[in-house]
């Protein structure tokens, strides 16, 4: 039986990739361990090795093909004694022939949600100051937008530098800092040892002297090692010094769950950092958010925790071309105007909320979706004004519910919108458990679109 070679998943978040190059051609003999092809994932270019022996019978996907979904057959191997006539009989079970690289099938299915369809132009977003920038846009991934933001600010100000693990030579563990070393050199793009509290503290010290560090944490999970300096040194010093000693510093990196990386690598820290005066906490959703907010964060004179999301890195959005597109920190964005129920969300949950709003619309419920963008200082005005109109609030977050952002929303409603509420505030949050590894359990632990739909309907007594 001919053996199908499938497009492998080579990273936890990879759902598709580019078949960059074939290293074997039709008719070549292949032994297990031979490199068959090079594949570009969302993070790197990887070699794919053969697991089975045989002769390349047919190449199904030509080199240079983009967006090849994980598990797509890319070639067929013929076993000893088989000839091309066997090809027509089709391949055998795919699992038997999957390349040696990480487990193929479950990854795509296990992504926390089916990659939310991103509305190219959000439905009925109200007019805003940003509109003039949206006249001329270019499609970029969140990853590229973050990189562009850093590069533009580094060109603008020599005091800005980037440091962290693998940010320079490796080009970023998630390729976010790709190309920065080449443009700015090793003085300003600095690979650190694996030493989070050390380089976080070093960054704050450099900021005391007027530099503007962008400190990348490979993920915010590792920033727990450094949280003493983020809170005790960065957030509190301005106050403790009676206003003398500011520090303009950005701590950035992916936050929250990626896919199938287990409890220690899958936590949302929005509520942790948002708890602390002296910090600003920003969490972008789209590529335009990422660019406009990161530029604002780098220019800001205060310490900023900038919570990104690994799954969003590869998603594309329209981004203004104008380099002066800088979004205000502390201002939420109404992504979709509606009159029946307000849904607040941030980071990847904005996509879920918009998807939920589409479903709700079909059932006659007109949801207003607010992309918080900044968690601290929270744009209470936009939220309260929206609830004054809709009289209902659903708060969505990926993190745990206890003392979470949703709890803060409840308090805000009690204090500032009590008389306008027609239903209890509903919280959609991650389950109150450490993140499980199993694909089915992980999906159950994270908020899904239908949870938001259900919560919104409940708020509307439907």
The residues that are catalytic are: 196, 265
Strand order across the 29-30 sheet: 3-6, 73-78, 54-59, 29-30
Among residues 233 and 309, whose Cβ is nearest to another protein? 233
Using CB under 8 A, count the residues that bind another protein: 40
Q: Which of 229, 252, 265, 352 binds another protein (CB under 8 A)?
A: 229
- The 76-115 site mask, x for binding another protein (CB under 8 A), equals ----------------------------------------
Smallest distance from another protein to CB 221, Å: 18
For residue 138, what are the contacts with CB-CB under 8 A and spacing of at least 6? Answer: 318, 319, 321
Smallest distance from another protein to CB 153, Å: 16
Closest by CA position to 455, among listed 324, 290, 343, 376: 343
Smallest distance from another protein to CB 51, Å: 41
Smallest distance from another protein to CB 242, Å: 4
Among residues 197 and 224, whose Cβ is nearest to another protein? 197
What's the number of CA atoms in the CB half-sphere (13 Å) around residue 126? 12
Per rule CB under 8 A, is residue 217 in the interface with another protein?
no
Tokens of 390: 């809709």
Q: Which of residues 288-307 bind another protein (CB under 8 A)?
A: 301-302
* Buried residues in 422-454 as b, exposed as e (16+ CB within 10 A): eeebbbbbbeeeebbeebeebbebbbbbebbbb
For residue 304, give the H/E element and its range.
strand 303-308
Closest by CA position to 7, among listed 34, 46, 33: 46
Stretch that binds another protein, among 239-247, 318-326, 365-373, 405-413 (CB under 8 A): 239-247
Smallest distance from another protein to CB 245, Å: 5
Q: Which of residues 151-190 bind another protein (CB under 8 A)?
A: 161, 187
For residue 96, give the H/E element and its range.
helix 94-97
Residue with tokens 């509307």: 460
Per rule CB under 8 A, is residue 244 in the interface with another protein?
yes
Q: Which of 72, 137, 246, 385 binds another protein (CB under 8 A)?
A: 246
Number of helices followed by number of strands (H, E) in the chain: 14, 22
Among residues 111 and 163, whose Cβ is nearest to another protein? 163
Provide the 10 A C-beta neighbour count for residue 193.
Answer: 8
Q: Which of 103, 126, 155, 239 binds another protein (CB under 8 A)?
A: 239
Among residues 22 and 272, whose Cβ is nearest to another protein? 272
Task: Summarize as ranges the residues that interact with another protein (CB under 8 A).
Answer: 161, 187, 192-193, 195, 197-211, 228-229, 232-233, 237-246, 248, 277-278, 280, 301-302
């Amino acid at each position: 039986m001919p053996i199908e070679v499938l497009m492998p998943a080579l990273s936890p978040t990879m759902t598709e990739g580019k078949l960059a190059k074939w290293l074997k051609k039709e008719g070549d003999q292949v032994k297990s361990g031979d490199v068959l092809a090079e594949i570009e994932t969302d993070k790197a270019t990887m070699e794919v090795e053969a697991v089975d022996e045989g002769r390349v019978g047919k190449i199904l996907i030509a080199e240079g093909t983009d967006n090849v979904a994980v598990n797509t057959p890319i070639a067929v191997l013929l076993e000893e004694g088989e000839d091309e006539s066997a090809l027509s009989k089709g391949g055998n079970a795919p699992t038997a022939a999957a390349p040696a690289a990480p487990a193929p099938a479950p990854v795509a299915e296990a992504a926390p949600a089916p990659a939310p369809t991103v509305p190219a132009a959000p439905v009925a977003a109200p007019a805003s100051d940003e509109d003039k920038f949206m006249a001329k846009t270019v499609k970029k991934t969140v990853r590229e937008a973050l990189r562009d933001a850093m590069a533009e600010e580094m060109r603008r100000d020599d005091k800005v530098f980037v440091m962290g693990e693998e940010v320079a030579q490796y080009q970023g563990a998630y390729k976010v800092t790709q190309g920065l070393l080449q443009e700015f050199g090793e003085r300003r793009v600095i690979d650190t040892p694996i030493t989070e509290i050390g380089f976080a503290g070093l960054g704050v010290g450099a900021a005391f002297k007027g530099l503007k560090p962008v400190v990348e944490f490979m993920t915010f999970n590792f920033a727990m090692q450094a949280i003493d300096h983020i809170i005790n040194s960065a957030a509190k010093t301005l106050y403790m010094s009676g206003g003398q000693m500011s520090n303009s510093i950005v701590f950035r990196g992916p936050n929250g769950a990626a896919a199938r990386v287990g409890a220690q690598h899958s936590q949302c820290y929005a509520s942790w950092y948002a708890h602390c005066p002296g910090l600003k906490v920003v969490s972008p959703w789209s590529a335009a958010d990422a660019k406009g907010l990161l530029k604002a964060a780098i220019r800001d004179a205060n310490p900023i925790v900038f919570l990104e999301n690994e799954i969003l890195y590869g998603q594309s959005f329209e981004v203004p071309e104008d380099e002066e597109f800088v979004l205000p920190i502390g201002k939420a964005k109404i992504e979709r105007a509606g009159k029946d129920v307000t849904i607040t969300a941030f980071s990847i949950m904005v996509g879920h909320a918009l998807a939920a709003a589409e479903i709700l619309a079909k059932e006659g419920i007109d949801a207003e979706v607010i992309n918080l963008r900044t968690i601290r200082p929270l744009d209470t005005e936009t939220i309260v004004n929206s609830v004054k109109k809709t009289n209902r609030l659903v708060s969505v977050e990926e993190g745990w519910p206890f003392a979470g952002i949703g709890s803060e929303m409840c308090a805000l409603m009690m204090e500032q919108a009590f008389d306008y509420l027609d239903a209890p505030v509903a919280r959609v949050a991650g389950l109150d458990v450490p993140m499980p590894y199993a694909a089915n359990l992980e999906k159950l632990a994270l908020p899904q679109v239908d949870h938001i739909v259900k919560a919104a309907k409940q708020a509307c007594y439907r």
